[in-house]
Structure 1
Amino acid sequence: MKIAYVNSSKRGETDLVLSTIADHLLASGAVLAGIVKESSHESRFENGCDMKVRVLPTGPIIKITQDLGEGSDACRLDPAAITEAVTCVEQLPIDQADLFILNKFGPEEAGGRGFVSAISKAVERDIPVLVGVGNGSLGAFKDFSGGLAEQLPADTDAILKWCGQSILQPSR
């Protein structure tokens, strides 16, 4: 099993790095599954809680947050949109992917929902998995991965090196 995660204390850094990694790997001919943040979308909120994701490899792009109005501090995640993104990912042939990328193992996954099934399917098929993990879900992710996930720095070169090794030398 090859599973790695990226965790950064800098707001937006993990999303940016994983989107960059996905773009680089797609350009080099890798077959990807999963989702990354759509980097062309600018959040209209100061805290960045307005997000669109791109289903890999070629879309669609799905807005996964809902507009709760100015000043709202409630969770903006749109459960229906998350379900749509999960459905899109699970309808694609994950077993043909070289790598599965998830922009964020968050509260949905920590609760056993969201992309947990897709991650598990990739792991079962010996497809390397790369996941972004926020501080609030780090403990749940470590439990989910059985402590077997490798932590990577939020550094494009280090992650690309891991991806190259994982794709070229799969555990299959």
Structure 2
Amino acid sequence: MKIASVTSSERGGTDQVLCDVAARLQSRGVSLAGVLKDTGYVSGFSNGCDMRVRVLPDGPVIKITQDLGSGSDACRLDPGAIAQAVASVEAGDLNSAELFILNKFGPEEAAGRGFCDAIGAALERGIPVLVGVSGASKAAFDAYADGLATALEPRTDAILTWFDVPEGSDQNH
């Protein structure tokens, strides 16, 4: 089982490095599954809490937040849209994927929902999993991964090196 996390302290850094890794791997012909943040989407909210994700490898792009009004401080995640993104990933060809990427292990995954089953399915098939993890979700991810995940530096070269190392070598954890 090969699973890794990446966390950047720079705002948007994790999303950018995951997108860079995906682009590099796809240019090499590597088959991907999962979701990435649509980094070209401009948030309609001043706090930036408005996002779309792109289902790998070729879409669709799904808006996973909802507009709760200007005075709301509630979570803007749209559970229905997240379920749609999960269903799109699960309906894809996971069997041919060489890497599963999840842009963020967030509140849904911390609660055992969201992409947890898709991550498990990838790992059961021997597909390496790369997950973006924020500081707020680190403890939940660590509990989910049960100590089996490798924490990677938020650098494209470090992630590509991890991906290229065969499972079972000393560099996997």
1:16 aligns with 2:8: no
Query: 1:82 — aligned with what?
Result: 82
Partners of 2:44 and 2:160 lie apart in 1 by 31
Unaligned 5+ runs, structure 2: 169-173
Of stretches 19-28 and 96-105 in structure 1, the one that deviates more from structure 2 is 19-28
Matched residue type, 1:24: R
Matched residue type, 2:61: I
Matched residue type, 1:41: Y
1:47 aligns with 2:64: no
Q: CA RMSD in A?
A: 1.2
Matched residue type, 2:63: K
Query: 1:17-166 counterparts in 2 under 5 A?
Result: 17-165=17-165
Query: 2:7 — aligned with what?
Result: 7
1:93-128 Cα deviation digits (max 9, x unpaired): 212100000000011001010000000001111110
Q: CA deviation at 1:69?
A: 2.2
Equivalent pairs, count: 168
Matched residue type, 2:162: W
Q: CA deviation at 1:47?
A: 2.2
Matched residue type, 1:77: L
Contact 1:127 1:170 in 2 (8 A): no
Runs of 4+ in structure 1 deviating by more than 3 angstroms, as ranges, are none
Matched residue type, 1:18: L
Partners of 1:23 and 1:159 lie apart in 2 by 13
Contact 1:126 1:170 in 2 (8 A): no
Partners of 1:101 and 1:170 lie apart in 2 by 17
Partners of 1:4 and 1:92 lie apart in 2 by 22
After TM superposition, the score normalised by the length of structure 1 is 0.93
Q: CA deviation at 1:170?
A: 4.4
Of stretches 52-61 and 88-97 in structure 1, the one that deviates more from structure 2 is 88-97
Unaligned 5+ runs, structure 1: none
Matched residue type, 1:42: V
Q: CA deviation at 1:79?
A: 0.6
